[in-house]
Amino acid sequence: MGANREGRLSGAASQPKLRVRDATKVYNTRSGDLLAIDSCSLDIRAGEIVSIVGPSGCGKTTLLWSMSGLHKLTSGQVLLDGAPVDGPSPEIGMVFQDANLLPWRNLDANINFPFEIKGTKPDRAWIDDLLQRVGLGGFGGRFPRELSGGMQQRAALVRALSFKPSVLLMDEPFGALDAFTREEMNQMVEEIWLDTRTTIVLITHSIEEAIFLSDRIVVMSARPGRVASIHEVPFPRPRSLEIMATREVFDLTNTIKMEIIGEQQSRYARPSIAQPAQPSV
């Protein structure tokens, strides 16, 4: 699985893998313009796992979709290996909170679907390896309704990694799962990451999940979302459940929790509607 590793790590010293520069997004809604994120800047290094946490509605998904090229920024820029991201790219894989598997296709056919659309051939050996890794070996003929929520999310993860993206973006991928399944998923993601060193950006509501998986945790302010603070997560890998029970993790969890609560409380003190442009005289 380490075939792409050299390519991914070369250049790591020279420039960030993913760069968000002054990202601003205004949604034009019926009730007026809504400033979702405001001048967000963030550099993600190659091979890093970065989590984004923050109050609900602060613009995390908006920021992640901008990183993926799925929607356009009002101003600012996202750069992948120094080149602007202007649309979806096979270099960037996405996992959402819902697995979004097509119910009428079995697991194999779901994973093949994006390749059919693009008219390219999937690397079956790679996909079979991934399926084995996530415990779905032999499940290719099953339909989504025959799979648990956790299995569906694992399938979505395999689908996202099937293109061998160098960046994986995940938007609350395990938010709907029970705590135990979630811990299993976190360990599985770390194992895959230890092999592939795929650059990962993860949005999560769980600070424990963020600490378990991340090299750095970005706390976003209440809307309009900005980068409020960034925390290094210094614990060695692989991260064990013993590490998660230490005083250091407890303290970091509380620090981040208090920051988010502070942001939540300040939400109503901030303007949420973009200021209309002043008419020039």
Of 62 and 153, nearer to ligand ADP (C-beta) is 62
Q: Which amino acid is at 240?
A: S
Q: Classify 174 as helix, strand or coil.
A: coil
Question: What is the number of alpha carbons within 13 Å of residue 247 lying toward its C-beta?
Answer: 0
**Closest CB 64 distance from Mg ion, rounded Å:** 8
Residues 204-243 that bind ligand ADP (CB under 6 A): 223
Of 23 and 192, nearer to ligand ADP (C-beta) is 23
Q: Is 29 in the site for ligand ADP (CB under 6 A)?
A: yes
223 binds, among ligand ADP, Mg ion, none (CB under 5 to 8 A by kind): ligand ADP
Q: Which runs of E-coded beta strand occur in 156-257?
A: 167-171, 199-203, 216-220, 227-232
Which of the ranges 56-64, 86-94, 204-212, 245-253 carries the binding residues for ligand ADP, by CB under 6 A? 56-64
Of 98 and 183, nearer to ligand ADP (C-beta) is 98
Distance, CA of 200 to CA of 44 (rounded, Å): 9
Distance, CA of 139 to CA of 110 (rounded, Å): 12
Which of the ranges 55-63, 183-191, 193-201, 232-240 carries the binding residues for Mg ion, by CB under 5 A? 55-63
Q: Is 61 in the site for ligand ADP (CB under 6 A)?
A: yes
Q: Is 61 in the site for Mg ion (CB under 5 A)?
A: yes
Which of the ranges 59-67, 116-124, 128-136, 142-150 carries the binding residues for ligand ADP, by CB under 6 A? 59-67
Q: Is 32 in the site for ligand ADP (CB under 6 A)?
A: no
Residue 134 in contact with residue 154, Cβ under 8 Å? yes
Residues 90-149 that bind Mg ion (CB under 5 A): none
How would you write 22-82 as a 3-class SS string?
EEEEEEEECCEEEEEEEEEEEEECCCCEEEEECCCCCCHHHHHHHHHCCCCCCEEEEEECC
Q: Is 70 in the site for ligand ADP (CB under 6 A)?
A: no
Using alpha carbons, select from 195, 201, 190, 202 the residue that is nearest to residue 235: 190
Structure tokens at 61: 């998904």
Contact footprint for Mg ion (CB under 5 A): 60-61
Contact footprint for ligand ADP (CB under 6 A): 27, 29, 34, 36, 56-62, 223
